[in-house]
Amino acid sequence: MSSLESWAYLNRVVEGPNRHLLALLDAGRDADELAHGIRTRASWLGDLGPATESRYTWDQPAEDLAVAEREGYALLTPESPEWPHDEIAASFEAVRAKEARRERDENGDVIKLPPDAYAPHALWVRGNTNLAQLFASSVGIVGTRAASAYGHHATTDLCKGLARHQHTIVSGGALGIDTVAHSTALDEGGATVVVAACGAGQVYPRRNEQLFTRIANEGGAIVTEYPPGITPDRHRFLTRNRLVAALTQGTIVVEAAFRSGALNTLKWVEVFNRVGMAVPGPILGPGSLGTNLAIRDERAAMVLSADDAHEKLSPIGTTDVDGQYEIDYAANAVQQLSRNELRVYDSLPLADTGGLEAAEVAQACGFTIGLTVHLLMDLNNKGLVIRKGQMWERADSA
């Protein structure tokens, strides 16, 4: 295994994702060789040479590791047992293989991936470092920072149910929908992960400092690709979004306007062939226009509940949300009637209003007297109609 100092050096001088670095790792170079090669400007670096030209003198791995440790962060690498190998293989490695085979998409075009569709080469983690376990059954929750009451309630309801289904809630730690998602997961005793867009030890947004501490102390994790001191610049949020999409089995956009940054995560979900989902919102304002359009354009499946999302994230046939709805919202006795029974039932007056004879009921519903009497007797056995002498009427309970 390579030293952590070498990995920390690489993480400082090569801002990921970087395909040249990953290519050299895949070719058999280890982190120690790469760190030495970058420091000495080795000729075999290829395209990694120009990519590190301006930073290779930033040689401070011991300092970075010490600062990170003081802030409660550990450095994980692909050599670490806690590294999320399965999720990275299912997303980054799978799509790169498709590109290498020049596979075609549903439109017949050769698959061409975004330039930054590459895996991280290291992750700084505060809290639970077992990322393989945390991401094994996880779902991303993203949305606007300016969450409405509707978005707040929808996120709370979703995350309560997802926590009961033992899904790790993954989000970006921002204000609004992200904060609601993380907080709800903790309140329900579930696990949650923040994927940050700033360096280890940086706190952004500052208002969520206590929330991040709680996450780290209650079985969750704060995860970032960036070493200590790196600021949360705009491009890093876009880079961060690919990790939320790639390391989870699916992502739900709860509330997003037309140009919301949350929709960028949904684009990455499509790239990695993960499950894209969205919560429909009100049509009279701009707050949910992005989610509603994603559903309309079939870029995201509509979800109405945590059970809905759980079914989409589970192997086919293992859950049945519609069947559960049938149980939870079972039809009442009248709704279960056949069409002919309903015609007879609708022809009867309400209880204690005088009733009708069978012949009158037959005229009202258009059946023969024989069929009408037969149906009246069935309805009587079901407790929906009562007979008073020669008269028939609806039961009080109906």
pLDDT value at residue 350: 83
pLDDT value at residue 285: 85
How far apart are the C-alpha atoms of 174 and 172, rounded to whole Å?
6
pLDDT tens track for 88-108 = 999 999 888 887 787 777 778
Handedness of CA 27, 31, 36, 38 (dihedral sign): positive
Fold category of 123-328 in CATH = Rossmann fold (3.40.50)
Closest listed residue to residue 141, CA positions, set 152, 132, 130: 152
More confident residue, 3 or 342: 3
pLDDT value at residue 395: 87
Q: What share of the chain is helix, strand, coil (3-state, %, to 5)?
A: 45, 10, 40
Half-sphere CA count of 259, side-chain side, radius 13 A = 0
Least confident segment among 26-40, 141-155, 184-198, 310-324: 310-324
DSSP notation for 287-355: TTHHHHHHHHTTSSEE--SHHHHHHHHSPTTS--HHHHHHHHT---TTTT--HHHHHHHHHSPPTTS--
Amino acid at 352: D
Could you tell me the residue ranges of all domains in the chain? 1-59, 123-328, 339-394
Total-model pTM: 0.81
Pairing of strands 138-142, 250-253: parallel
pLDDT tens track for 343-365 = 999 889 887 778 899 999 999 88
Tell me the angle at which helices 339-347 and 369-381 cross, rounded to the nearest 10 degrees. 90
Q: Which residues pair with 124 in a beta bridge?
A: 75, 224
Closest listed residue to residue 288, CA positions, set 141, 139, 150: 150
The reply to whether CATH 1.10.238.10 applies to domain 339-394 is no
pLDDT tens track for 30-67 = 999 999 999 999 999 999 999 999 999 999 999 999 99
Q: To 5 degrees, how large is the angle CA 322–CA 325–CA 328? A: 160
pLDDT, average across residues 12-41: 95
More confident residue, 91 or 260: 91
